[in-house]
Amino acid sequence: MATAPAAEIPAHVPRELIREIGLTTGPEFLAAPHDFMAKLHDTHPPLFYSVNPMTGNAWATIKHEDAFFALRHPEYFSTADATPFPRDPNNFFYFIPLEIDPPHHRKYRAILDSTFSPQGVLKLEGYMRKLTNDLIDQFIDKGACEFTTDFGRPLPVSIFLDLMGLPQNMRDTFVGWAVDLLHSQDRMTAGMAMRGIEAYLAKVIAEKTENPDDGVIGTIIQARPNGEPLTEREIFGFTFFLFIAGLDTVFATLNNIWLWLANNPDRRREIIANPDNINAQVEELLRVFSVTFSGRTLTQDLEMRGVKMKAGDKFMSILPACNYDPDVFPDPKTIDFGRQRKPILAFAGGVHSCIGAHLARLEIKVGLQEWLRRIPDFSVKTGATVEYYPGGVVGPKALPLVW
């Protein structure tokens, strides 16, 4: 049960549904986050009220059906203030397109549809394979690597920076800002990162306005939805959101997958032995190692599973837990590459489904294929302790591998 002062919890919340579980920050979560979230189905009601001093209080669902509904019904669940990042109220910007509800959401999404479509990302496959092998070349003969810094982060982040039209030589600076913003438990540290990103992107946008290019930022600047250019705040909010979204999620997913591969040599060999099943393998690994959550605000009163929620209440879908829902995925903790295909929530869903989902799937697919072709046998370095970042993107801090 929660220990937070009763005054912080709305009167309409039933006391028996209040939980303080340390989601994203507590010791049990950080010891083994995916095991923690999978076990919620055994220990918690389908819908409960999560009290968290760091991230705030919200209704929380662990059921696939409920998350599916919330993600697809913006008339009940708004994204208008879906992100907790601090912004100057006198110079406010929305994270676009995430914090824009339909019907206005579509005009922003359409700007980048062709870039991030299945056909659009397939154009990157050759480049992606070369980059993957170039990275492996740098450490394969050493018989060891720090996966997070040698492969897990540079692979997706380098691709993302090229797409955005941002300099590769600032990758470590960008990553440092993202880690401080997404994982720091100190508001001052997160605020400094926020200001650093804002100042840098403002400069980049000004430069690309004067000298347009065909990168994602340049495309946003030059876009004319309904024949009109975006405002300065729209361009900034769109660029800022993509900047943050592109630096951490695929990296965390790769870390989680490679940790599992290192600890499960028989399953690793199963992947290698069934190359034609790679798409199903990627999908199942994404199901089991989802890394993000989905926040909303209720726009009107709503009853769900007999629980009465009120307009203005916060609502969170614990997406990794939803992907372990036994009512949708039988024996959910087992990684089954022959599992019947059902919608997973690794990339959320509905109109706000992750714009980079096709890119992420291809990055993971190519990464698996090329790594396992060249380094089929590897393990975690003896004596290494795997620790996880707190915060809303779930993945190990470091992953030393040997072969």
Coarse DSSP helix, strand, coil percentages of the chain, rounded to the nearest 5 percent:
55, 10, 40
Q: What's the confidence (pLDDT) of residue 4?
A: 47
Q: What's the confidence (pLDDT) of residue 264?
A: 98
Residue ranges, the chain, pLDDT below 50: 1-7
- Structure-derived torsion over alpha carbons of residues 279, 283, 284, 288, reported in degrees to the nearest 10: 150
Q: Reduced to 3 states, what is the DSSP secondary structure of residue 396?
A: strand
Count of other CB atoms within 10 angstroms of residue 352: 24
Q: What is the pTM of this model?
A: 0.94
Q: What's the confidence (pLDDT) of residue 1?
A: 39
Whole-angstrom CA distances from 138 to 147, 183, 255, 341, 363 are 12, 29, 18, 37, 19
Q: What tokens appear for 348 in the block? A: 């959320």
Residues listed for the chain: 403
CA 165 to chain centre: 21
Whole-angstrom CA distances from 18 to 57, 228, 341 are 10, 48, 34
Whole-angstrom CA distances from 356 to 35, 59, 142, 363, 379 are 26, 27, 33, 11, 30
Q: What's the confidence (pLDDT) of residue 293?
A: 93
Cis peptide before 84 (omega within 30 of 0): no
**Hey, CA dihedral for 153, 216, 183, 359, is it positive or negative?**
negative
- Structure-derived torsion over alpha carbons of residues 235, 236, 239, 241, reported in degrees to the nearest 10: -120
Q: Which residues pair with 402 in a beta bridge?
A: 144, 379
